[in-house]
Amino acid sequence: MGFSCGIVGLPNVGKSTIFNALSKAQNAESANYPFCTIDPNRGVIPVPDERMNFIIQYIKPKSIVPTTVEFVDIAGLVKGASHGEGRGNQFLTHIRQTDAVAHVVRCFENDEIVHVENKVDPANDIEIINTELLLADMEILDKAVTKHQKAAKSGDKALKKKVEVLEEFLKCADEGKPLRALLKEHPEYIDEIREYNFITIKPVLYVANVDEDALAEDNEHVKTVRQIASSEGAEVVKICGKTECELQDLSEEEAKEYLQTLGMERSGLDSLIKSGYDLLGLITFFTAGEKEVRAWTVENGASAPQAAGKIHSDIERGFIRAEVCSYADFEKYKSLTTAKENGRLRLEGKDYVVQDGDIMYFRFNV
């Protein structure tokens, strides 16, 4: 799987509508009233990749397996959720295991669609959600510090270090800062807090839910979201839920033409996934043969053995060499055999750093 992404936001900002469009599952109930989503909705979708389409055009495999992204849509949060308002924050456990958070913000005006705060104010909406997420993390921090403090007094150096780190994060939260701010300064702290799956440590993608008029040019609401995201080092993706739903009913060619009329190079889905990969520092490599062409996701900077481990731990353990053809070379020669004949199918060792789009075959022995 590429990555998993939890979808958060106030009630009725279009989370479930966007989820329906992104997942193509159409199984997330959406309606014009708060707290429509009660149980979390999950959608696993294939990652669109033009490179894979090109590869299978010439290799013609029996099976095609793209990498995927999982979206998890939870109930909308409201001010005071951490104290039990609305549905409370009990649903946040469903996104603690995700890799990133997509924060949907309403950036359109429509009197027929109620807003839980009775006004469209992206800055206020973002502050409410960020506060509730931080309060949820603070609750876990408080419990963790209390749990370990007594044991740390026994002289256990490891526990003492853990408590010190947790207290640093608690101080960060008390100052109203997301925990990722402290982790950015001290990346070495990650081992002490990994087990807690704090939400405000996760990278954030702000999803500006707009109407069609704002797709080509930002409205004032989107500009506000971009300013906030810039101050946090976060990404922003514009999505029109209505447009994304309409795209699902079109053929690939019709969808391209429709996007062109809207002045868009890619769909909101493609933009969201691309931003997610960039934010998390992920790349894709391929394995390709007559039986199967498959896409795999690894962290940028991964070694060849680490990439092999994505396929199976035995391949990583017994790694010998990797046969590698860059996507650019495959695009040029349109055949792995022809690429090899022209000296473009390389043998790489354990120190090779995988490049985005590499087509790889692993030699191993266990």
Asked if 68 and 121 count as a contact pair (C-beta separation under 8 A), the reply is: no
Q: Is 165 one of the annotated binding-site residues?
A: no
At a CB cut-off of 8 Å and minimum separation 6, what does 164 contact? none
Angstrom distance (rounded) from CA 293 to CA 282: 19
Q: Is 13 one of the annotated binding-site residues?
A: yes
Asked if 38 and 2 count as a contact pair (C-beta separation under 8 A), the reply is: no
Per-residue b or e along 157-179, where b marks 16 or more CB atoms closer than 10 Å to that residue's CB: eebbebbebbebbbebbeeebbb
Q: Is 230 one of the annotated binding-site residues?
A: no
Q: Is 110 one of the annotated binding-site residues?
A: no
Q: Is 82 one of the annotated binding-site residues?
A: no
Angstrom distance (rounded) from CA 167 to CA 193: 11
At a CB cut-off of 8 Å and minimum separation 6, what does 249 contact? none
Per-residue b or e along 312-348, where b marks 16 or more CB atoms closer than 10 Å to that residue's CB: eeebbeebebbebbbbebbeebeebeebeeeebbbeb
The runs of H, that is alpha helices, within the chain are: 15-23, 50-59, 122-152, 157-174, 179-185, 190-193, 213-216, 220-232, 241-247, 252-261, 268-280, 304-311, 313-317, 327-333, 336-341
At a CB cut-off of 8 Å and minimum separation 6, what does 268 contact? 18, 21, 22, 237, 238, 239, 240, 243, 244
- Tokens for 347, please give them: 């043998």
Distances (CA, A) of 175 to 21, 119, 132, 171: 37, 28, 14, 6
Q: Is 17 one of the annotated binding-site residues?
A: yes
The runs of H, that is alpha helices, within 121-251 are: 122-152, 157-174, 179-185, 190-193, 213-216, 220-232, 241-247
- How far the first Cα of the chain sits from its last, in Å, is 25
| Annotated binding-site positions | 12-17
| Annotated binding-site positions for ATP | 12-17
